[in-house]
Amino acid sequence: MKNIIGIIISIILIIVLYNPQWLPLSAETIEKIRELRIENFLIEGSRRITFAHIATLVLALAIVWLVYTVLKLILTQFGKKDDHARTASTLLTALLKYLAVIVAFVWGLAILGVNTTAVLASVGIIGLILGFGAQSLIEDIVTGMFIIFEGQYKIGDIIILDDFRGTVKSIGVRTTTLVDPGGNLKIVNNSDIRNLQNRSREDSLGICDVSVSYSTDLRRLEQVLKENLPKMYQAHRDIYIGEPRYLGVQALGDNGVELRLVVPTKEENVFAAQRQLNRDIKILFDDYNIEIPFPQVVVHRGE
């Protein structure tokens, strides 16, 4: 709504400034505004800033802001298609903002009578000098473009970077922002993102490792699991996306036989699915009197 109101105001402002005769101005000022408009808002050799310059500058800025806002709205609508489109939309909007500022700045200088050719040449030389000291900035921007175009990750993906596991909140021109389940933010330069794990590409597995005593009849236990694992899926389809599976004996431990069960789930639900599977197995074992052993210490007293 805010952008729509801004667009309407900009259109009205542009219409009014394109028709300066509607304003209570002198004939000389109105004629000067028209001359500036005909000259594409360029003023050559003028050193004195008049009201006509200011009016023309406002007109130019209104046009730049209008174009920027309309393109931003288009990119926002495009970004609603899916996560990949939203990621590309976010990056392009950031680039568009920088471009709008540069265009408004250069165009404004031209309107005020500044020799923009000399300014741009000077900026180019200074930029070349600073470029050697801003290699990391350029690297961040280039890496950000590759991240988008190669689809390494997108907004909403869960990635593991170093020892930080978080959801991609935003991808900017220079940085990527991650947020973990606790709401902690990690802002990383794009050029520093290496050896990441994208956990959202495929379905994840919630894992339950549980031990049973050596006296347990494994054949009976496996039959119990076969009968009840589908029921667990039906009861928790909100976090399970498939039936839990019994993978077999994981190890013969010191205190019991270690079994492994897994359940397919989305990465964002992996911990919830793991906790729920642990609970389901504990209740199931209680119902069928299947013992889960715990470490015991045997003390021998000397004579």
* pLDDT tens-digit series, residues 121-170: 555 545 544 454 455 666 766 776 777 666 777 788 888 888 888 888 88
Chain-centroid distance of CA 148 in Å reads 11
Q: Running DSSP on this structure, what letter comes out for residue 288?
A: T
Question: What's the CA gap between 261 and 281, in Å, rounded?
Answer: 9
Question: Does residue 107 register a pLDDT over 60?
Answer: yes
The predicted pLDDT at position 229 comes to 93
Average per-residue pLDDT in the chain?
A: 77
Radius of gyration (C-alpha) of the chain in whole angstroms: 33
pLDDT band per the 50, 70, 90 thresholds, residue 1: low
Lowest mean pLDDT among 92-96, 127-131, 282-286: 127-131
Angstrom distance (rounded) from CA 41 to CA 33: 9
DSSP 173: S
pLDDT band, very low/low/confident/very high, at 71 (cuts 50, 70, 90): confident
Q: Provide mean pLDDT across the span 109-116.
A: 68
pLDDT on residue 16: 61
C-beta of residue 249 within 8 angstroms of C-beta of residue 257: yes
Confidence at residue 14, expressed as pLDDT on a 0 to 100 scale: 65
| Each residue's pLDDT tens digit, 79-92 | 777 666 676 777 77
Give the predicted TM-score (pTM) of the model: 0.51
198 pLDDT more than 60: yes
Q: How far apart are the first and last CA of the chain?
A: 89
- Residue 84 DSSP symbol: H
How confident is the model over 232-270, as pLDDT tens digits?
Answer: 999 999 999 999 999 999 998 888 899 999 999 988 888
Evaluate if residue 279 carries a pLDDT over 90: yes
As a whole-number percent, the residues of the chain with pLDDT over 90 amount to 20
DSSP string, 3-44: HHHHHHHHHHHHHHHH-GGGSS--HHHHHHHHHHHHTTT---
All domains of the chain in start order, with CATH: 2-133 (no CATH), 139-198 (2.30.30.60), 204-287 (3.30.70.100)
153 three-class SS: coil
Q: What is each CA distance from 179 to 146, 161, 167, 187, 188, in whole angstroms?
A: 22, 12, 5, 9, 11
Q: Residues 221-237: pLDDT tens digits?
A: 999 999 999 999 999 99
Whether 284 contacts 224, CB under 8 Å: yes
**Least confident window among 15-24, 182-191, 285-294:** 15-24
Give SS3 for 95. helix
- Percent helix, strand, coil in the chain, to 5, is 55, 15, 30
Q: Which of 41-50, 118-127, 180-189, 213-222 is the least confident region? A: 41-50
For residues 65 and 73, what is the distance between their CA atoms, to the nearest angstrom?
12
Taking the C-alpha atoms of residue 245 and residue 228, their distance in angstroms, rounded to an integer, is: 11
pLDDT score, position 285: 92
